A and B are shown apart, each in its own frame.
Chain A
């Protein structure tokens, strides 16, 4: 039974994030994988979950900024129109002041246009920065979920190997702790069952000399145990 590895969990390992595809792992003797690194393309792990929140906050911020920006522009344009009307009233009868009036009016309108450009630029910057930050923020939730999903897939295939800890800064640490406890408990129990079945097969094989049926059953159990050992690596 020495070939059944103990159910160890890699603590504070940086090999997490991906689930071992083969037998490689901290406790195994297989080829070591290169340490996982965060990549830009890996930040959108759960588009539904992440995009939903990112879009919500971004659109909300855009609506607030757009509405208040429109109010700012409207108030500024109202003031400009008022000044323009006063200028027109003051210089209406004096054609020599037309240039002065046009220059002032143009300055006012240019100021209003500049205000719009500034607000649009600030709005776009806000949306970009906010979206990037939100993708990173939601990635700290989507990452652990992705990792656990990969472990779930392995469990679905009947493979219960070692698991690695979450990365520093990831959220859902409590949930991952629950998953790790379950994984370890199931693995330990299956290992104990393997030991029980192997011991029973060894003990009964001596008595199975005259019974072909028992011998066949023990052969099948041996195969089963061998396969299970591989699954628990």
Chain B
């Protein structure tokens, strides 16, 4: 510590933690509080200023794009044709369904009649192909009940029930205008009892076209460019304002952090210039307490408490002077006692011990 070649080391910076940390933390704390409070104030005002500036930017009217007048012929002819299939006539035209009055009541029992007239012969053939096949036999006739005959091996009622579950078979009966099916010697079933096929509406949109004949102004392109240039400039300006506001926030945060860290380091170094001399004096005080009065070296360059250290050096020199005065007196008495032939006296021996201790303390 006292050696002239001593250099400051980061490890030794905190010599007096209580004093150094107290002063350093106070300094850092003051800076942090000021930065936080005033920073919050700055951000509040900056937000107001940014909002005002944004409102101003938004308030600047951009040139509008002139509206084009559409001269396309009006009427339903250009309406997109739709075909709504109610499921009963998949091949029917769309116009057929659209021509029905909208307030027509929904079809009641029996099921609605088909809209398209089917050839009766074809319909009866279809019935025969679907119903009058093994294991059953029948002779379908339009508008008359269909009589089913089956062999003993086949339950006619079950056969009819099964067929009624087939939508194609039921549809064939409807087209042939047969409303009742009767098992020979068995039950009579109305096709109205047959389960309704699922009813999906199929919307078919045909190709459409629209003819516009707008009146395009000569500067239409320029107007569009001007409009969007203005809009983009405004968006850029608003974005720039928002960036500026955020920049203030980041600069404040960065400044606060750098300031706090810098102040902490500087505070410890600064207080070390006080704690260092105190530490050094404490070492000398310990030596003096133990009866050793070594040479006192000067403080390092840059240390504070130079005056205080000078006081210590004079105090140290004063104690050394006391010791030297004692040594001189004791030496003189010992020499005189030895000259008088009292060198072996117990008191002289005691004085010699004291002299040796005092001389050693000054080495």
Contacts and interface: CB of A to CB of B under 8 A. Distances in A.
Interface stretch (B97-105, B204-212, B348-356): B348-356
Interface of A: 46, 48-49, 52-53, 56-57, 60-61, 64-65, 68-69, 71-72, 75-76, 78-79, 82-83, 85-86, 130, 137, 141, 145, 148-149, 151-158, 171-172, 174-175, 178-179, 181-182, 185-186, 189-190, 193, 196-197, 199-201, 203-204, 207-208, 210-211, 213-214, 216-218, 220-221, 224, 228, 231
B42 interface: yes
8 contacts: A61-B30, A68-B34, A68-B41, A79-B48, A148-B311, A153-B311, A156-B314, A158-B321
B333 to A, nearest CB: 5
A68 to B, nearest CB: 4
A197 B346 contact: no
Contacts of A76: 45, 48-49
Nearest to A77: B49
A52 B267 CA distance: 12
A186 B336 contact: no
Given A49-B304, A64-B38, A155-B315, A130 B30 contact: yes
Contacts of B270: 52-53, 56
Q: B interface, how many residues as a size bin?
A: 35 or more
Contacts of A203: 345-347
Contacts of A64: 31, 34-35, 38, 259
Q: Mostly helix, strand, loop or mixed at chain A's interface?
A: helix
Contacts of B31: 60-61, 64
A24 B354 CA distance: 31
A218 B286 contact: no
A172 B49 CA distance: 51
Query: Which of A193, A218, A228 counts the most chain B CB atoms within 10 A?
Result: A193
Nearest to B256: A64
B290 to A, nearest CB: 8
A152 B318 CA distance: 9
Interface in B305-363: 305, 307-308, 311-312, 314-319, 321-322, 325-326, 329-330, 332-333, 335-337, 339-340, 342, 345-348, 350-351, 354, 358
Contacts of A216: 336
A152 B312 CA distance: 6
Contact of A193 (B289, B305, B312, B354): B354
A91 B248 CA distance: 33
Given A79-B52, A200-B348, A200-B351, A156 B318 contact: yes
A130 B26 CA distance: 11
A72 B42 contact: yes
Q: Which 4 A-B pairs have the closest CB atoms?
A: A211-B340, A152-B315, A68-B38, A155-B315
A155 B41 CA distance: 57
A115 to B, nearest CB: 9
Contact of B333 (A49, A60, A83, A221): A221
Contacts of A82: 49, 52-53, 56
Given A213-B340, A224-B329, A86 B59 contact: yes
A171 B19 contact: yes
A57 B27 contact: yes
Interface string B136-155: 00000000000000000000
A217 B30 contact: no
A189 B291 contact: yes
Given A68-B41, A75-B48, A200-B351, A153 B314 contact: yes
Contacts of B282: 175, 178
B230 interface: no
Contacts of A171: 18-19, 22
B19 A214 contact: no
A109 to B, nearest CB: 15
